[in-house]
Structure 1
């Protein structure tokens, strides 16, 4: 097989790669921003509802924590926009992509915590079930599986490193490790 046939990935410069990664990141952030902004907007209205005054102290504490988490998630997920605007044209896009990626990852963790906290509050107010904690834990587990475990598993299992060529053949049970040939 020729070198061209074995090559994986893109033939792009550092700057082209940063441009592509920035575009991908912006698309990802748009999805998360919409969700966190809608959730945060609804959370802001709760304190102005008549029923808020009747909430138990614990529920008010959960509400305050949820609002702070939502505000923090919003800040982290909008942060890449401000970062881009302030460093645009300064020849630091690869570094900006790394920092924006970190902000997005942090924002998603905060969004997970906000959603879990909001779910806990809603279920506490709507029901008085003892299985409530288990239900919230199950939803958080599902989010962790979808948002982190599966993507990290795919990343670990299917990533090839630059210069490594084609991925090594997978070992089959009872099979030979050597490449055919």
Structure 2
């Protein structure tokens, strides 16, 4: 049997599938952003907010602005899709929505780091806050960007498994050398 060369789908079918997958990803990210942003908005109304120094207030303002930009970028694909629905532009919509989602994840990374910096500065009152935020920033980068890029690089250069017509998976290098 000859190994399959991926899905047999039209450009429109691929765009529909990719759009559905993107929506699932956005649901996770949007929920987290909305909860974080809601907490950020409530902070200013807490009595302890008055005790913050100028640096911490500036960090707060930057964090709220980053949170706003993050929400816009991660909710943007929904608006993009809605405004272009019915115009036979699904593949282009998926491409731009995907780009907006990646931008939203980068902004979410910045928002999370900024929020952590503010919280840890208030709690710890020392330089340890910067080190902890730095360590967590590296962890976010690893989980969100480095691991996927590493997997992508390995997938392109390493052994790959492909699904054959019978539905079972096999090593593509062995199958291609046998045919």
**Same fold by TM (over 0.5)?**
yes
Match of 1:152 in 2: 149
Cα distance in structure 2, aligned partners of 1:123 and 1:15: 48
Q: 1:17 aligns with which of 14, 23, 45?
A: 14
The superposition leaves residues 97-134 of structure 1 with CA deviations (integer Å, 9 ceiling, x where unpaired) of: 00000000000110110010000000000112322211
TM-score by length of 1: 0.86
1:16-35, aligned counterparts within 5 Å?
16-35=13-32
Provide structure 1 residue ranges, at least 5 long, that are not aligned to the other structure: 170-178
Match of 1:43 in 2: 40
1:76 aligns with 2:73: yes
Q: Which structure exhibits the higher relative contact order, with contacts defined as CA atoms closer than 8 Å and separated by 6 or more residues?
A: 2
1:104 aligns with 2:101: yes
Tell me how large the CA RMSD over aligned residues is: 1.9
1:128 aligns with 2:128: no
Cα distance in structure 1, aligned partners of 2:156 and 2:78: 29
Match of 2:50 in 1: 53
Cα distance in structure 2, aligned partners of 1:156 and 1:6: 22
Cα distance in structure 1, aligned partners of 2:153 and 2:5: 16
Q: 1:94 aligns with which of 81, 91, 96?
A: 91
Match of 2:111 in 1: 114
Q: Which has the higher helix share?
A: 2
Match of 1:143 in 2: 140
Q: How many positions carry a matched residue from both structures?
A: 165
The superposition leaves residues 22-52 of structure 1 with CA deviations (integer Å, 9 ceiling, x where unpaired) of: 0000000000000000000000011111111
Shift of 1:66: 0.1
Cα distance in structure 1, aligned partners of 2:94 and 2:140: 25
Shift of 1:168: 4.7
- 4+ residue runs of structure 1 moved beyond 4 angstroms? 165-169
TM-score by length of 2: 0.87
Provide structure 2 residue ranges, at least 5 long, that are not aligned to the other structure: 163-170
